Amino acid sequence: MEKLIITAAICGAEVTKEQNPAVPYTVEEIVREAKSAVDAGAAIVHLHVREDDGTPTQSKARFKECIDAIYEVCPDVIIIPSTGGAVGMSAEERLQPTELFPEMATLDCGTCNFGDDVFENTMPMMRDFGKRMIENNIKPEYECFEMGHLDTVLKMAQKGQVPGAPMQFNFVLGVPGCTPATVQNLAWLVNSIPAGSTWTATGIGRHAFTLAAHAIAMGGNVRVGFEDNLNLEKGVPAKSNGELVAKVVRIAKELGREIATSAEAREILSLPPRKK
């Protein structure tokens, strides 16, 4: 098997310090959490940004400030800015990070229930996001929350509406209202992607580490972090994103998977070396 790429989703747009005091809001806190994750074994940081009071924002300036500050302490890391933002944001608001020409960014693959809310990703929005990423030479990470999301984006790739092969997918399972985090659902998704693609599994909440173990054994990659799960185990809040990453590293070692560095992850994901 290839080495395991671990992604750390360090803050998200919805979780708060009331839920876990270690959730980062400020630039300094975001850098702290990124470094803790990379030091523990993460090759990728999936990045949302916040205002200092915790309000989610897609501000181009705030993203630049955070990205530059992370690279100061983690010069080799792959940073994947979110274009999902927070529920209710407009498409143009969500697209702001693409104006920084990141090497990768997320592209959400369809509308879905998101707890009590609806996360809107209409076909016209997705075509606009795909066009922007083609124009700015950004490799998408295709975020699939539902089974049908995968079929949708594969058909878009065939039509040249989004970047094509080699494709990277993130299967986000266990969001309330979306596809459950079962090994059967993960296997169906993995078996449906084109040859030569890469994939990551993200289990939400209590599913984080069980789905991670399945993904590791299946030869895929894993995302963990405060965005998806705040606890190291039931009733035990994680003190940092690094603790969550370290637990994945321990599981991987038990299952015989080596951990990819950021440079090795670039090779696996068909990315060029980072220009510094």
SS3 75: coil
pLDDT in tens, 135-147: 999 999 999 999 9
115: pLDDT strictly greater than 90:
no
Alpha carbons 129 and 121: distance in angstroms, whole number:
10
pLDDT in tens, 25-57: 999 999 999 999 999 999 999 999 999 999 999
Where does residue 267 rank: exposed (0-12), middle (13-18), buried (19+ CB within 10 A)? middle
- Residue in the block written with tokens 């500050």: 69
pLDDT mean over 225-235 = 96
Query: Would you tell me which CATH number, out of the four given (3.20.20.70, 3.30.70.260, 3.30.420.340, 3.30.1370.100), belongs to the domain 6-268?
Result: 3.20.20.70
What amino acid occupies position 12? G
pLDDT in tens, 141-191: 999 999 999 999 999 999 999 999 999 999 999 999 999 999 999 999 999
Mean per-residue pLDDT of the chain: 97
Domain boundaries, given as residue ranges, for the chain: 6-268
**Paired tokens of 275:** 């220009």
Alpha carbons 163 and 131: distance in angstroms, whole number:
8
Alpha carbons 157 and 258: distance in angstroms, whole number:
32
pLDDT in tens, 89-103: 999 999 999 999 999
pLDDT mean over 4-31 = 97
What own/partner pairs with CB < 8 Å and gap ≥ 24 does 185-188 have?
185/147, 186/211, 186/214, 186/215, 186/218, 187/218, 188/147
Residues sharing a CB contact under 8 Å with residue 41, sequence separation 6 or more, in sequence order = 6, 245, 246, 248, 249, 259
pLDDT of residue 275: 78
